Each structure stands twice: as structure tokens, then as C-alpha cells.
Amino acid sequence: MHNYNRKLIYLIAILVIYVSCFVGFIFYSISNFAFTDFYKRLDLRRNIAAEKFLNINNALQSNQWSLDFIEDLNNQHEFLVEFDANENILNSHGFNHEIWSKINKKGISNFKVDNQFYSTKFFTKDKRNFIIGASAENYFYTHHLAYLRNLLIISLVLGILFILVVSVFMKRSFLKPILTMMKEVQQIGSENLDKRLDEVKYKGELKDLASTFNNMLTRLETSFETQKNFISNASHELNTPLTSIIGQADLALSKERSQAEYQRTLLKIIESAEHLEKKTKALLLLARTGFVSNSSSFGPIRIDQVIMDAELMVKAINDKFRIITDFDLLPDDSMRLKVSGNAILLQLALSNIISNACKYSSNRTAYIALGALDKKVFILIKDEGIGIPSEDLQHIYDPYFRASNTDGIDGYGIGLPLARNIIKLHEGSLKVTSIVGKGTTVEIELPTFLKF
């Protein structure tokens, strides 16, 4: 936060310096123009004064038009100074001796003393040296330029105040939401990866950023939970068959046994090893879904085709399973059934859910409905099986967890956690509702590939 405040102060300082330089440039340009223009006007009056002083006989005749049509400047004076080779003043007319040191004795000079501007020029006549000049008060400099200076100072102060107000507004409207987002992000750690940024409070690009960050958190949560579940369950689930194998082998080797006993022991070891192999494959498959790259084989796919492929997979596993699919809710535009995803992973998730629906139903039947909304595709998978007890619903996504009423039915408790991880990777949602003795319904929603 201090870093943002420091950058804001730097920005304000740069803007203030820029505005100050801009105001100074304007004042300097207008002042310089005013001086140059006024000196030109003085030069004209100085030349007229030279004609008047040095050509007495022809002055009125040759310059009568100048004297008639050129108005006097404010506090205007003309003067003449005659001096010798040593620059000693011999005589003068209307001359202020205090400015003698400022005059160029060999050429033209323009200078200012207080509010009085001077223009002088060196002349020679009949081997006599003269300085002839004109002076006047620059009314624009003393009045208009002073007004301009005060106006620019006021404008500068108002400009700085405007910059400060805009900066405070920017901090509240732009930096504050960013700082708020940073605080929310800092509160998210490995212990609460389920927490998300509130997208409603942000607007524009910040809302898109919050949505992108939430999607990233979903992928991280999936990977983290998968890894955590893998570590916490691997030792427990793999230890039981390993212990059984080692125990049976030790028992068989503890003394001499008959060939039939060795065969029975080997058969038990093979059975435990097969059980271990199935659990290991299921566990590794679950772990793998947590590390699928977001860009790995993700593209537009038809969800109805994925469902049909999943049905074929389930029937290939058990030809006694029946699947009834309802396509009455399909949209007229088939493009609305496209989602962005990995067809193999989605097929795996759906086949697990469909297989469970058939397996836990007495009639071995699963009912599937597919439809589309404006921005989502929804899939309903329903059965009329044994259902899930309400106290077990909160644990159904734990790997290897099986409901208390599933005794006698084969399974490893891996299908539903696997399916949920895959649906999460596709930025979808999975919801399970169940009533004991009446069946279970799984609702899946996936975002469409095309935004309508």
C-alpha cells in the first residue's frame, strides 16, 4: 500500500511540475513578445526623433505624416545627447544622466529601467557624435502582463488542486479496489482454498481479473485436494492389501506345508495383489486428474456425443446395465451443446456416474436427460436405487468413502471424487441429491463453448 501511495505522490509531483513549466512557458513567451514588440515601437519613435533633432529644417516637412498619425506612448520622452571622443557629455536635451552607463555609445541599445523602456542609437553629423533615444512606459507590461501573471498563478493553484482531487478520486475508484483485491488474495491460503473473490464488488477489467483468479483457485483447489487426498489415503488404502500379502507369505513360510496349502496361499496373495492393483490404478487416475493442464487437449466438443460414448463404455463393462436417455430437452441449435473441454476426461467422469447409477439400482437402469440454457449445458443422471443416507452425503467426495448401506456391492469409492475433479477442471458444477430407498440424482452444469 505504501508503494502505491509513493507512486501516486510521484505522479502528482510530475503533473505539478509539468503544469508549472507550462504556465511559466506561457508567461515567458508572452512577456518576450511584449518586450520585442514594444522595443520595435520605440525604435520607430527614436528614428522620428532623430529626424526631428538632426534635420531641423526638413523635420516638419518630411515627417509631418509620422507626427500626425503615430500616437504617443504612455509617458513618452525623446532625448538627445552630444558627446566627445572621450564619451564626455557636451550638451543634452531631455536626457536623464543616470542611464548614460547603460547606453551603447557605438550602436543601438534597448534596455529597461524600472517601468521605463529605452531605445537609443548612435548618430554622427558634421563630425559630431550624438545619441538619440526615445523612452516610454510599457502599459501592457505594467498592467496587462501583471494581470496575466496573476491569472496564471490562480490557474496554476486551481490546476494543482484539480490534480489533487483527481488523484484522490483515482485512488478511491481505481487503487482502492486493487488494494481490496490484494487483501482478499492475501487471506487465501492452503487451509482455505475454497474461498473466492467477490466478483460482484468489482467492475470492468477488475471483474474479469477476479473471475480469472477464481478460476485459477478452482484449479489449484482441485490439484491441492487431489494431492492431499492421495497422500492421506494412499498409505491407508495400500497398506491393507500389502499387509495381507506379507502376512500370508510369512505364514506360508513359517513351516513346511503341503502343495495344496501353498497353492491356496498363492491364490490369496494373487487376490490381494489384484485388489492392490485396482486400488493403485484408481488412486493414480484420481491423482492425475488434479494435474491436467488447462490447455491440455481442451477444445470445443459436443456433450451429447460424449454422453453416447460414455454409455457405450458402461455397457462394455457390464452388458446387464440399461441406460435410458431423454433428448426431448435438446435445443434446436446443436451448437449450444458444445463445451470447451477434454472429451476423454468428461467421458470418464460421466461413465463413472452412470455406472454407479446402474450398479446401485435393483433394475440396473440409469436415466439421463440433457438440455441447454443460454450459457450452460446441464446433464441429469438419475437412478431408482438404494439412495445415500443423509448423514453420508457430506462425505461422498472423500476418496474411498462408501455409504453405510453399500455392503455387498463392489466398489472402491473413487468414482464420484474422480468425476467431481474432472467437472471442476471444466469450470462446471456437480450436485448430488438422494433419498434412501428412492434413488439418487446427479446434476451437472458445464459452461457452453459459445457465449450467446
**Residues 314-368: pLDDT tens digits?**
887 778 889 998 877 777 777 788 888 888 788 888 888 898 888 888 888 999 9
What lies within 8 Å, CB to CB, of 345 at 6+ separation is 289, 292, 422, 425, 426
CA distances in angstroms from 305 to 159, 235, 378, listed in the order given:
65, 38, 14
C-alpha cell at 228: 492431499
**CA–CA separation, 56 and 80 (whole Å):** 13
**Phi/psi-derived region of residue 114, left when phi > 0, alpha when psi is between -120 and 50, beta in every other case:** left
**CA–CA separation, 311 and 322 (whole Å):** 9
- What is the predicted pLDDT for the residue at 236? 55
**CA–CA separation, 334 and 372 (whole Å):** 10
CA 2 to chain centre: 20
Partners of 124 in the beta sheet?
Answer: 129
End-to-end CA separation in angstroms for the chain: 40
Query: What's the CATH code, domain 293-452?
Result: 3.30.565.10
Partners of 118 in the beta sheet?
Answer: 111, 135
Partners of 77 in the beta sheet?
Answer: 135
Domain layout of the chain by residue ranges: 2-143, 197-291, 293-452
Global pTM? 0.45
- What is the predicted pLDDT for the residue at 367? 92
- For 125, other C-beta atoms within 10 Å of its C-beta total 12
- What is the predicted pLDDT for the residue at 444? 92
CA distances in angstroms from 284 to 30, 87, 255, 414, 430, listed in the order given:
81, 110, 37, 11, 22
Q: Is 72 helix (H, G, I), strand (E, B) or coil?
A: coil
Question: The domain at 2-143 falls in which architecture?
Answer: 2-Layer Sandwich (3.30)
Query: Nearest CA to 368 among 386, 385, 348, 350?
Result: 350
- What is the predicted pLDDT for the residue at 53? 81
Write out residues in the chain with pLDDT < 70, as ranges: 1-5, 8, 56-70, 142, 191, 193, 222-223, 225-240, 278-279, 281-297, 399-401, 408, 410-414, 450-452
- What is the predicted pLDDT for the residue at 442? 92
Residue with cell 557629455: 89
C-alpha cell at 243: 499387509
- What is the predicted pLDDT for the residue at 59? 42
For the segment 226-238, what is each residue's pLDDT rounded down to a tens digit? 566 556 556 655 6
**CA–CA separation, 303 and 347 (whole Å):** 9
Query: What's the CATH code, domain 197-291?
Result: 1.10.287
